A and B are shown apart, each in its own frame.
Chain A
Amino acid sequence: MAYQLYRNTTLGNSLQESLDELIQSQQITPQLALQVLLQFDKAINSALAQRVRNRVNFRGSLNTYRFCDNVWTFVLNDVEFREVTELVKVDKVKIVACDGKSKYGIRYK
């Protein structure tokens, strides 16, 4: 199973909205919708790991940190994000980070 944390993104929410509509109009079953979501998880995890290579540096003051169930959650204040030419400052950032190296189970297909 790939990480599901990208479901609550614009793309993930749009997909779920479309799937909800198809379920409500009985064009697909909830089970098939789940399979689609699982495929979305795989696809987006893979795409983010392999196809996105822009780098943004950031630094700020660490307000809180938490490590639970192999997931890190940080809250930072007064954060600067630096890309090639852009510098963006924000008051508060919450970072949820899952282990990028975890191995997935043996897949059926």
Chain B
Amino acid sequence: MWQRGPVMLPSLFQALHQLYYDPNIENKNLAQKWLMQAQVSPQAWHFSWLLLHMDKVPEIQYFGASALHIKISRYWNDIPADQYESLKSQLFTHITRCSSASGTASLRGPWAAFHLGCLLLVALVTITYRQWRGGEADVRDVMWESCATQGCGSPGGWGARGMCSSGGMDALAAHAGEAMPSIDSGCACRYVNTLLKLIPPVLGLQEQLRQAVQSGDMETSHGICRIAVALGENHSRALLDQVEHWQSFLALVNMIMFCTGIPGHYPVNETTSSLTLTFWYTLQDDILSFEPDKQAVYQQVYRPVYFQLVDVLLHKAQFPSDEEYGFWSSDEKEQFRIYRVDISDTLMYVYEMLGAELLSSLYDKLGRLLTNTEQPSTWQHTEALLYGFQSIAETIDVNYSDVVPGLIGLIPRISISNVQLADTVMFTIGALSEWLADHPVMINNVLPLVLQALGNPELSISSVSTLKKICRECKYDLPPYAANIVAVSQEVLMKQIHKTSQCMWLMQALGFLLSALQVEEILKNLHSLITPYIQQLEKLADETPNPSNKLAIIHILGLLSNLFTTLDISHHDDDHESTEVKKLPVQQGPNPVVVVLQQVFQLIQKVLSKWLNDAQVVESVCAIFEKSVKTLLDDFAPMVPQLCEMLGQMYSTIPQASAIDLTRQLVHIFAHEPAHFPPIKALFLLVTSVTLTLFQQGPRDHPDIVDSFMQLLAQALKRKPDLFLCSNLDVKAVFQCGVLSLKFPEAPTVKASCGFFTELLPRCGEIAPVGQVVHENGKVLLQAVLEGVGGQASRSLMDHFAEILFALNKHCFSYLSVWIKEAMQQDGFPSARVSPEQKETFSQQILRERVNKRRVKEMVKEFTLLCRGLHGTEYTADY
């Protein structure tokens, strides 16, 4: 297709056309490969200029520019030193032509600007190289000189005369900005004079920046901001170190501050301010990394700057007027929400620098705002200040701040006239929940607000999440308020004010709340809380199953399981220190959750009898018990026999994974409780028997059941291996099912199966039936493992297969050495791509390594790559 030897233009055009437009991937790959070789050929110095002519289509011009860039970057030595000036001149001539063309009809659109940016980048790289080679060349002087030679005037005038189109400026700045880090920090400290000399021309763009902001030219302001931020962010440490030039750098910092505070709302009126946020992190990190003496000096200068930054950020975080906000699209609202989160992160970080004084400052401002009767504040201003508090309190320990009591005292004075403000009030209270736990006397200042908000569906997320936080953190101080909280919650639940998720959160909150009460109080409150739902469930249980009553049933079951998730009177999750003083004495008698579960058990069985075929309802039923078991642990014991019987009936009728998962939980918790284990043992044997039947019928449609079953077997081996001594358990059939499961396409199922064998094989010696089965059938297992390694299983599972091989090697060495030899003797097994020598090497390596599991994993990975024909490819270089 194209000629070898010197690259000819027609060949280039043909190759480019093929690269962009040929539908065949092979042809595209070939074209790309050839073009990449062309770019680095000696002819590229010549043809790249030819391709840059304006009469060529953009794709060709771009290739020419890119080729030139590569030549200058990598083949600088090709250029004699006496040709540097000529080269720069040619570059700038072309930049000028492109700039002029971009302002006319001849070449519009992003290509011109991009092209321009590429060439400028080339020029910068050229100059940088020259500087490295020549010694003391001055970047700015070269650029100024070049611009003057071209009649462009100063860079500021250059832009002002529209040499760069507005689109061009942004692309220009993008590439200039990208070029800045190429003078990376290692070089920066050597050429810091050059960096310092870059600051004035950048500061020189301030006037243009102001004009762009005033005229609403977002692209220009965006571009100039990028230049300033690139210089500041990438070289702040080097520039900060120049103590004698501190004013110069401070001027740059103030320019960036102007960009942060650019007038207008993000993202509707401006999109520039967000570019500056990471700069403030970098500057802070650099200042705080100085030794204490030096840091103290810099703090004197920059603490006021950061206080100013806080004011600017809080101003930018303010919502627009209600009317204006009403016109924003949902996408703009979402972008604004994200922007506010970024501001929140920045404020949180800034707190590290400014400390408690920041909170005091915010508090003073808020206090003045709320007490100023002459000039009423806007809700936006109040909300922004609260948002600042919330941002800091959410993550920083504010326990030692002395302004929080005052803040809590101010909250009721806020006139909540707006949903966004109300939300922020709620979230601020929630952020202070840990503080409230240490200062419970203040709870009553905020709790009424939260309970009132619960009745407002617009505040659903904020009010429910806040109540949950308070109930979680302050539960031991809430008993005096418990009756009120329960009553309000009950009311909103009955009125169906909140969506399903928030209803579940509310039940979790109530679970926390009730945990701290005496048992009689818990039972009383539980009774009033769940009785309406029990009555509803009774009614639904009598109805013929249909889609709408299914939803209602699942909802009620969900409420119960969420309540039981957090209703923990044994206080397992409590922080030891805080409960030392507040912890209630250990409860005597049955756990109230168990009492309730026993009361509703028959009803649940009745529901189940009608809905046994419905996986979602069965899952919801299992979830109640699963969550209860996890919370109650040993306290669940009285329920074990009933639950095991129910699960057995359930699973015998319609096997479902959720039933196996619950069985696994029971095995895990009660394995070492001889008094409670017999029903669990019976359930385990029943589940195993039913699942084995499923395997005979064809397990492929039930990968979830197989997955859960393998996990159950592994758990049983871990916690109660003597289950495998039961005469009722067909160990051989279980083993064979495990081997079949290794061949499933679903990765979680295969992983669980590998886990089963990894637990089984070490038990060869101690459990006779296991040992016998492994010795008689281990070769089949090895075969399946090698098939997986050979390419049948996903590469991501190789570590798990390696663990099986390691276990076989450790516990069945003499058998393995025979099996592996026999298996590998088969032609083309486990892959046609590996030679007999490679198979022999792998076998020997595996057999030799009986100690280092990591090494075995490496060997298996290497062998699997060989089997798949991927060994030595760049594609798998990091495998």
Contact = CB atoms under 8 A, between A and B. Distances in A.
Interface stretch (A16-24, A60-68, A90-98): A16-24
Contact of B395 (A31, A33, A57): A57
Nearest to B344: A55
Nearest to A51: B338
Interface in B674-690: none
Given A20-B870, A32-B25, A55 B181 contact: no
A16 B394 CA distance: 39
Contacts of B508: 85
A interface, how many residues as a size bin?
20 to 34
A103 B178 contact: yes
B38 to A, nearest CB: 13
A87 interface: yes
A19 B876 CA distance: 11
B730 to A, nearest CB: 34
A16 B795 contact: yes
Nearest to B461: A84
Contacts of B338: 53
Contacts of B468: 85
A30 B178 contact: no
B796 interface: yes
Given A30-B873, A85-B465, A20 B472 contact: no
B178 A106 contact: yes
Interface in A62-109: 84-85, 87, 89, 101, 103, 106, 108
B573 interface: yes
Given A106-B121, A106-B178, A85 B505 contact: yes
B794 interface: yes
B interface, how many residues as a size bin?
35 or more
Contact of B69 (A28, A101, A106): A106
Contacts of A101: 233, 278, 282
- The SS class assigned to the B binding surface is helix
B874 A31 contact: yes
A20 B337 CA distance: 41
Nearest to B833: A24
A44 interface: no
B440 interface: no
B658 to A, nearest CB: 21
B265 interface: no
Contacts of B874: 30-31, 34
Contacts of B178: 103, 106
A39 interface: no
Interface in A24-51: 24, 28-34, 37
Contacts of B795: 16-17, 20
B29 A53 contact: no
B504 to A, nearest CB: 9
Nearest to A108: B66
A85 B469 CA distance: 7
Nearest to A53: B338
B746 to A, nearest CB: 11
A53 B278 CA distance: 16
Among the interface residues B121, B337, B795, B875, which one has the most CB atoms of the partner chain A within 10 A?
B875
A29 B874 CA distance: 11
A77 to B, nearest CB: 15
Nearest to A33: B875
Contacts of B9: none
Contacts of A34: 873-875
Given A53-B341, A85-B465, A24 B869 contact: yes
A84 B791 CA distance: 44
A94 B505 CA distance: 29
A29 B181 contact: no
Nearest to B25: A32
Contacts of A20: 794-795, 868, 870
A31 B874 CA distance: 7
Contact of B878 (A4, A13, A19, A23): A4
A22 B309 CA distance: 53
Given A24-B791, A101-B278, A106-B69, A89 B573 contact: yes
A80 to B, nearest CB: 10
B710 interface: no
Given A23-B870, A53-B341, A30 B181 contact: no
Nearest to B33: A31
Contacts of B464: 85
Among the interface residues A32, A53, A106, which one has the most CB atoms of the partner chain B within 10 A?
A106
B25 A23 contact: no
A100 to B, nearest CB: 8
Contacts of B791: 24
Interface string B312-352: 00000000000000000000000001100100110000000
Nearest to B234: A103
Give 5 closest A-B pairs by Cβ, nearest first.
A30-B873, A30-B875, A53-B338, A34-B875, A13-B796
14 contacts: A17-B794, A20-B795, A20-B870, A24-B868, A30-B870, A30-B873, A34-B874, A57-B395, A84-B465, A101-B233, A101-B282, A103-B181, A106-B69, A108-B66
Given A16-B795, A24-B791, A103-B234, 7 more contacts: A13-B796, A20-B870, A24-B869, A31-B874, A34-B873, A53-B337, A55-B344
